[in-house]
Structures are given as structure tokens and as C-alpha cells.
């Protein structure tokens, strides 16, 4: 599975500017709702916040992978955001986060969820790839990096 198969150009945003964990998750839920109109923005937000309550999805090195399971969808959706300034996200290394790869997956498919998370985590272990994502100047540049490198 390629990261590029999960992300559409409208789900790639650079230079976003938010100052809190809750606000960036709200923005993620808004973008996800635009791609998955059968789900309300509030339903998506609730799923993402419920997962965060179990423990932060901030995996360290300035990276977070907020995710949630949703009924009513058949395929996973990923959203990538690069924050203009890092924000406190309660990451495991206590560093602020500037690179977010959010994931919405079908509720009943645990195997797909784990496989998709593993694909994303594996790609984000590549320091060069993360550097290129962070260096993207426009949304289109960010999407291009994803398509070319994954």
C-alpha cells in the first residue's frame, strides 16, 4: 500500500497555522468531512478525540498520526498537514508537532487499520521524506512530494 493512494490533493495542506491540539484536530475533521460528506464533521471529530483520550498519537520527532475508525466508509482516507509553527500535542518525546498525518479508516476492518498505520509509520521513519514534507512551500508541492516519494 502506498501513502499516495490514501491522500488526495485537497487533503494535503502546508503552512497551516493553529495553536492547539484541539483546533488542528477540528481542521482535520473539517477536511475529512469534505471528502466523506456522508459523515458529519462532528462524528469525525468525536472519533479522533476519542482516540486521543486513549493516549496521544504524537509519535515523536515532531510527528503525529491522529486516527479514528468510522462506520459508513469503505476505504481509508489520509490527510497530511504541515504546521507553520509546531504545537504542543502531548507527543511521547514531549516535543511539539509540526507534521500531521491523520487517518480515517473503516470501523470493522482492524487488519486494514493496522496495515495502513504501519504504512504511514514506516514512511514517516524516513528522515529525508519528512524533511521534504516540511520543506514544501505550497499545498501542491506537498502533494507532489507524497506522490513522488511514496
- Give the catalytic positions in this structure: 67
Q: Residue length, the chain? A: 150
Residue 9 DSSP one-character state? G
| Integer Cα distance of 59 and 41 in angstroms | 25
Chain centre to alpha carbon of residue 42: 17
- What are 67's strand-pairing partners? 103
How many CB atoms lie under 10 A from the CB of residue 62?
A: 20
Residue 115 sits at φ, ψ, to 5 deg, of -65, -40
Q: Alpha carbon of 32 to those of 36, 61, 68: distances in Å?
A: 6, 25, 11
| Integer Cα distance of 87 and 18 in angstroms | 8
Amino acid at each position: 500500500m502506498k501513502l499516495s493512494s490514501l491522500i488526495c490533493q485537497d487533503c494535503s495542506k502546508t503552512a497551516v497555522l493553529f495553536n492547539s491540539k484541539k483546533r488542528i484536530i477540528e481542521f482535520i475533521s473539517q477536511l475529512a468531512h469534505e471528502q466523506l460528506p456522508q459523515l458529519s464533521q462532528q462524528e469525525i471529530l468525536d472519533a479522533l478525540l476519542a482516540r486521543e483520550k486513549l493516549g496521544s498519537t504524537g509519535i515523536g520527532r515532531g510527528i503525529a498520526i491522529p486516527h479514528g475508525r468510522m462506520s459508513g466508509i469503505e476505504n481509508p482516507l489520509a490527510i497530511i498537514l504541515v504546521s507553520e509553527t509546531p504545537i504542543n500535542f502531548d507527543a511521547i518525546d514531549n516535543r511539539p508537532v509540526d507534521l500531521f498525518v491523520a487517518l480515517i479508516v473503516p470501523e470493522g476492518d482492524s487488519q486494514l487499520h493496522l496495515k495502513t498505520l504501519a504504512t504511514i509509520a514506516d514512511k514517516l521513519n524516513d528522515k529525508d521524506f519528512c524533511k521534504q514534507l516540511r520543506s514544501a512551500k505550497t499545498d501542491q508541492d506537498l502533494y507532489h512530494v507524497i506522490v513522488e516519494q511514496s
